[in-house]
Amino acid sequence: MDAKKGKSLPKREDIDPKYKWKLEDIYDSLDKWEEDFKKVRLLKEKIVEFAGKLGQSDDILLDCLKLRDELFSLNDKLFVYARMKRDEDNANAVYQELTDRATALTTEVFAAASFIVPEIISIPEETLYSFIDNNKELQIYRHFINENLRQKKHILSQREEEILALSAEVGNAASDIFTMFNNADIKFPYIKDENGEEVELTKGRYIKFLESKDRRVRKDAFHALYSTYEKHKNTLASMLNSNVKANRFYSTVRKYGSCLEASLDSDNISTDVYDSLIDTVHKNLGLLHRYVKLRKKALKLDELHMYDLYVPIVDEPKKHIYYEEAVELVMKGLSPLGDEYGKNLDNAFKSGWIDVFENQGKTSGAYSWGAYTTHPYVLLNYQGTINDVFTIAHEMGHAMHSFYTNKTQPYIYSEYKIFVAEVASTVNEALLMKYMLGNTDNKTEKAYLLNHYLESFRGTLFRQVMFAEFEKIIHEKAEAGQAITCQTLCDIYHQLNKKYFGDEIVIDRDIDMEWSRIPHFYSSFYVYKYATGFSAAVSISQQILSEGRPAVERYIDFLKSGGSDYPLELLKKAGVDLSTPKPVEDAMVVFKETLDEMEKLI
């Protein structure tokens, strides 16, 4: 049975306990939370006593790092509990206060421990390595120490680092200004919806309008959005240009060869990986052009426009999928991952990891989270659609990644990098997709699933790589001393859309302003990670389905690795080498096969 249905959302207390997560597994009383809060305060004071002493002996360094792990881990536990309790019902004043206190404490904890890394890299390397060689327990921290030493050449003198730290607010100004403009100040006009009623356009409603079956609504929303941004085009160009200038300043000061090199260095990724991703996608753009042509045919349009890219070409099946059915589908879909994974997954579904249904005040969306010393948790707002089934598979991918990592790795390596974060979730989606496609005779459902998968490729691989290429071009122009004007940005963006989407679509001039509304451009060179993670996951899922156990064992080893090595090295464990084009090429083969099937159905 699903949760109680009706026009108004149920209150938290009206949800059946079997559909709620068990946060009492973290703390079964507020008194115990308060005890740990006091303990963190004490540990925070204790860690400061190590300042200035880390180079004196291996034992002192080890004791400090062990205390740091204990402090950070316990602080995580406090924060995770408070925040997830608040997420159950954001109107609950008790957990609002707990979250505020945990947030303030976290700031104090990081400030107290901030001396550790600068002090470690100031110790002569031969001394540090003699410490590690002479102390077995300290060897756990070898990768952590290596990583800090690797970036040492880009770390400046203490005074210069202080100055750079003080400049952070100025450096982030472009991003802060854009955020305020884009979320608070910009206002869009009213348009007429499908029923002819005047409705205010908002960013939240925009995609819904683009998914409308009424083409007039799609076109009106598209033009209304971009014409609004165009009225501020010079200001928006100045914001983005200022962000590029900030990147140039920091990459130059830290002695990097380019902004791209500086950005990729935190993951120890070479710029060749970035370039290879773009080149491989370029070689396969013919497939995207074929998909665009298929969309034009399916929508029965003489001319396909940019505002026709989001309207579903296949309606979602109307059947309601009960949560228990969804769980069964996910379990069956992920069965290729083997018995051990299956048992752990089954235990997760039965042991209070998941908060299933929407209730009044509950945080929207879905996520996976948890603390090192607890099992992971998953927040859902399950509605019974096919998309919701894929959301379960996705979030359980994150949860199982954390589960295996926390079970295997010491705390210091329990956080995996963003570069690999979406791999496990997308592997699950790919396996579930394969299972569902192989187990339906319903032509409408099959077409919907195929289109769902094709859209994942378009949105996560092709679109994000186009964004990545745009970022690369504008930074290279700036580094060559060329001016970045609004016209320059629009021209570059227009040409990229033309290249990526091909001749079967009209590249409306409105789309030239799309760069002006993408928040990720203020977290420069970030979006390519979506494309590499997606490609890696598709490649891994194919290996699992074709090779069976050897591929599964490689993949589980990857899940157990956390942050114990560099992302590229960790993915090699799973049989994916992103320093070569092969994983992206493998993903393109899957896209082609999916497109072939869809063309037969439409």
Which residues are catalytically annotated?
395
Give the residue among 95, 105, 104, 115 at the shortest CA–CA distance from 75: 105
Q: Which residues contact 522 (CB under 8 A, 6 or more apart)?
A: 174, 175, 178, 179, 240, 243
CA distance to 124, 557, 576, per residue, from 573 (Å) = 33, 7, 7
Q: Which residues contact 59 (CB under 8 A, 6 or more apart)?
A: 135
Per DSSP, the three-state class of 239 is helix
Token code pair at residue 71: 């402090």
Categorise residue 268: left if φ over 0, alpha if ψ from -120 to 50, beta otherwise: left
CA atoms of 388 and 139, how far apart (whole Å): 44
Categorise residue 457: left if φ over 0, alpha if ψ from -120 to 50, beta otherwise: alpha
CA atoms of 210 and 307, how far apart (whole Å): 6
CA distance to 240, 464, 518, 522, 584, per residue, from 284 (Å) = 30, 15, 25, 28, 10
CA atoms of 2 and 388, how far apart (whole Å): 13
Alpha helices in 385-506 (DSSP H): 386-408, 418-421, 423-438, 443-456, 463-479, 486-501
CA atoms of 561 and 416, how far apart (whole Å): 8
Residue in the structure block whose two tokens are 């929407």? 358
